[in-house]
Amino acid sequence: MSETHADDKPAPRPQRGGGPFGGMSLPAEKSLNFTASGKRLLGKLSPERLWLFIVLVLAVISVSFAVLGPRLLGEGTNLIFSGVVSKSLPSGSSQAEVIAGLRAAGNTAQADMLSGMTLTPGFGIDFAMLSSVLFWALALYVLSSVFSWMQAYVLNGVVQRTVYRLREEIEAKINRLPLSYFDKKPRGELLSRVTNDVDNISQSLQQSLSQVVTSLLTVIGVIVMMLLLSPLLALIALVTVPLTLVITAFIAKRSQKLFVAQWTNTGELNGQIEETFTGHALVKVFGRQKEVDARFTAKNNELYEASFGAQFISGMIMPAMTFIGNLVYVAIAVVGGLRVASGAMQLGDVQAFIQYSRQFTQPLAQLGSMANLLQSGVASAERVFDLLDAAEQSEDPDHADAPAEVRGRLVFENVSFRYTEDKPLIEQLSLVAEPGQTIAIVGPTGAGKTTLVNLMMRFYEIHSGRILLDGVDVATMTRHDLRSRMGMVLQDTWLFGGTIRDNIAYGRPDATEQDILAAATATYVDRFVHSLPDGYDTVLDDQGSNVSAGEMQLLTIARAFLAQPSVLILDEATSSVDTRTEVLVQKAMSALRAERTSFVIAHRLSTIRDADLILVMESGRIVEQGSHVELLAANGAYQALYAAQFAAPIADEV
């Protein structure tokens, strides 16, 4: 179709209500890429390796402190407990005496318990000791929070910079995609990838990364503590790890597809919305509101179904994790109880172990819910990658040629071109445009006039033949170089949301105020700008609704005027400008054309008549060429066109 898509046919797009290509029936291969996309998303973080390492270090510190905290608190509790017990004992006796006394009385259990403590019979709680333990606990907690804050702070930067680069990458990609790509994709769909999907990725990464890191580390920390306490019980806890993975995988497999569907539908819906809002007036006047609404409702419902399913199914992960946590709890209680009964383990150890197993459950559940968020993020990432992977236009040649001297001689040598493989559009076309000449291209609509322009600008790649600018094959030039030598004013006026001044200066950012004013005056822009309250500082909105269509065309002419190209292409440049203004603009344009080669596509005789050469095109071929007088005399296609313009209305009048 164009540069790289020479043999590509336009992909069928869902019409009216989604049709057979609705979001739910996505190709199965999509979800196969899921892991790959997830990895690739993580890969996007690689420029932040150093920072990620810092995040990890900070997280390790913060989590270690947080894991140590309960131990100190436990020590505090022990101190209180010992104090209470000590107080109940007769003062003056030593701990050993008390225990011996208990054993003698046959109270072995209590004796065992007391032997594990440090007691000073008769005295109460050792507040000095307690305050120092609690002080350390406090210090640990404060430090843990400080490190946790630093970690989150750094991670925030990592995520935001990554997201920034992702948007940047998309933008760069858009500028490298062939035009044919945009012919096939609804704008709103592309926009959705940059706003909704990237936003979703950002939120997923931000929320999940820090949680995943802390949760994982907590799990690891707890496991280490468990292993220290009792390897056997730790094994029981570890059994849950594969179980967790299996369950998460089971649920994730089902929700992935739905997440992909959710974001695909969001994109498609965005496409519908964008198109409807753009064609707002037409939708109204053609009485299509109901149909548009119905189509919207159908897609909106599809989106609802997909996102509900995704959220529900993935929402089961967290309860499932809680359940596993409780399962571990009971298992440890049972096995621990048995071991205590058989005297293989101390009661205090089992109790500590059980407490750790409680600590195990929460991060596990959190990991589950993060898996959920991440899945949604990866589904979005997949859509962004899909855009980033689209085939690009061919690379500019490494050693680009450039015409030594730019004079504006443009030659077509046997050029053939087709948008679709089996439909030749331009066949074996040859023409020579001498520097300074004005060449008018006329012919019925669809004869290939605009296509010819597209080829000169190298918007599309030719099929065979050569186009030479001042003796250099344009295919061997860089696109930038080629296009900077060409100026064009299109049928479709396009201005960006900015001031009138900035819009005129678009083609030459280094233009001075005087240059801009000169261009504006020459193209009669100055005249109407003066009547605007803000003059050149008037901000055009994206619809361009504060200037008329004709005024917009004048602005685009001023823009090309200022760019001072060596070849000027005017494609119906003045179709919306009223003829009185056009006469004035023509005068300015003829001054502009004087030193450069210009191609003019126009339907107004006045424009055509003054051309040095008129090319008459029909079905992709040049059927006649010559001057106005010559062609009229030839009595051919041009004469027929000419006659139709002035003869037909007169015939009607009769």
Partner 1 sequence: MLRSLLVRYLRPYWQPLLGVFVFQLAQSIASLFLPTLNADIIDEGVATGDTGYILRVGALMLLITLAQILCAIVAVYFGAKVAMKVGRDLRGDVFSRVGEFSEQEVTRFGAPSLITRSTNDVQQVQMLVLTTCTLLVSAPILSIGGVIMAIRQDVQLSWLIAVSVPILLIAVGFIVVKMVPLFRKMQTRIDTVNRVLREQLTGIRVVRAFVREDVEIARFATANQDVTDVALSSGRLMALMFPIVMLVLNVSSVAVIWFGAFRIEDGSMQVGTLIAFLSYLMQILMAVMMATFMAVMIPRAAVSADRIGDVLATESSVVPPAEPVNATVGQGELELLDVGFAYPGAEQPVLQNVSFIARHGQTTAIIGSTGSGKTTLINLLPRLFDATSGSVLVDGFNVRELNPDLLWGQIGLVPQKPYLFSGTVRSNLLYGKPDATEEELWQALTTAQARDFVTEMDGGLDAMISQGGTNVSGGQRQRLAIARALVKRPALYIFDDSFSALDLATDARLRLALKQSATGATMIVVAQRVSSIIDADQILVLEDGRIVGRGTHEQLLDTNTTYQEIVSSQLTAEETA
Residue type, 296: F
Nearest approach in angstroms of CB 36 to partner 1 is: 26
Write the DSSP assignment of 163-190 as a string of letters: HHHHHHHHHHHHTTS-HHHHHHS-HHHH
Nearest approach in angstroms of CB 223 to partner 1 is: 20
Nearest alpha carbon to residue 573 among 501, 456, 493, 506: 493
268 to 84, 264, 300: CA distances (angstroms): 69, 6, 10
Instruction: Determine which residue in the list 95, 156, 476, 564 makes contact with partner 1, applying CB under 8 A.
Output: 156
Instruction: Determine which residue in the list 213, 236, 260, 350 makes contact with partner 1, applying CB under 8 A.
Output: 350
Instruction: Determine which residue in the list 29, 398, 510, 542 makes contact with partner 1, applying CB under 8 A.
Output: 542
Residue type, 286: F
Nearest approach in angstroms of CB 418 to partner 1 is: 11
Instruction: Determine which residue in the list 37, 215, 264, 270 makes contact with partner 1, applying CB under 8 A.
Output: 270
Question: Footprint of partner 1 on residues 105-124 (CB under 8 A)?
Answer: 124
Alpha-carbon distance 83 to 101, whole Å?
A: 19
Alpha-carbon distance 71 to 384, whole Å?
A: 47
Question: Can residue 367 be called a binding residue for partner 1 (CB under 8 A)?
Answer: no
Question: Can residue 460 be called a binding residue for partner 1 (CB under 8 A)?
Answer: no
Question: Footprint of partner 1 on residues 476-535 (CB under 8 A)?
Answer: 479-480, 483-484, 486-488, 490-492, 494-497, 506-507, 509, 528, 531, 533
Instruction: Determine which residue in the list 38, 101, 315, 465 makes contact with partner 1, applying CB under 8 A.
Output: 315
Tokens 């090319």 sit at which residue? 615
What lies within 8 Å, CB to CB, of 513 at 6+ separation is none
CB under 8 A: which stretch of 97-105, 226-234, 465-473, 638-646 binds partner 1?
Answer: 638-646
Question: Can residue 420 be called a binding residue for partner 1 (CB under 8 A)?
Answer: yes
Question: Footprint of partner 1 on residues 572-601 (CB under 8 A)?
Answer: 572, 575-583
What mask, x for binding partner 1 by CB under 8 A, covers residues 319 to 338? Answer: xx-xx--xx-xx--xx-xxx
Question: Can residue 76 be called a binding residue for partner 1 (CB under 8 A)?
Answer: yes
Question: Can residue 152 be called a binding residue for partner 1 (CB under 8 A)?
Answer: yes
Instruction: Determine which residue in the list 253, 304, 430, 530 makes contact with partner 1, applying CB under 8 A.
Output: 304
Q: How many residues bind partner 1 (CB under 8 A)?
A: 195
Q: Cα–chain-centroid distance for residue 607?
A: 45
CB under 8 A: which stretch of 72-80, 380-388, 429-437, 467-475 binds partner 1?
Answer: 72-80
Question: Which contacts qualify for 235-244: CB closer than 8 Å, 24 or more apart?
Answer: 236/328, 236/331, 236/332, 236/335, 237/328, 237/332, 237/357, 237/360, 240/324, 240/325, 240/327, 240/328, 240/364, 243/324, 244/321, 244/324, 244/364, 244/367, 244/368
Instruction: Determine which residue in the list 449, 536, 561, 611 makes contact with partner 1, applying CB under 8 A.
Output: 449
Question: Can residue 402 be called a binding residue for partner 1 (CB under 8 A)?
Answer: no
Q: Hey, what are 506's tokens?
A: 């678009």
Reported as half-sphere exposure (CB side, CA atoms, 13 A), residue 195 has a value of: 10
261 to 12, 258, 293, 372: CA distances (angstroms): 18, 5, 21, 15
Instruction: Determine which residue in the list 100, 153, 241, 250 makes contact with partner 1, applying CB under 8 A.
Output: 153
Question: Can residue 446 be called a binding residue for partner 1 (CB under 8 A)?
Answer: yes
Instruction: Determine which residue in the list 378, 557, 563, 573 makes contact with partner 1, applying CB under 8 A.
Output: 563
Question: Can residue 280 be called a binding residue for partner 1 (CB under 8 A)?
Answer: yes
Question: Can residue 159 be called a binding residue for partner 1 (CB under 8 A)?
Answer: yes
Question: Can residue 548 be called a binding residue for partner 1 (CB under 8 A)?
Answer: yes
Q: Hey, what are 612's tokens?
A: 């040095």
**Based on CB atoms, which residue is closest to partner 1, 28 or 649?**
649
Q: Hey, what are 557's tokens?
A: 């002419």
Q: Strand order in 464-469's β-sheet?
A: 426-433, 410-417, 464-469, 472-473
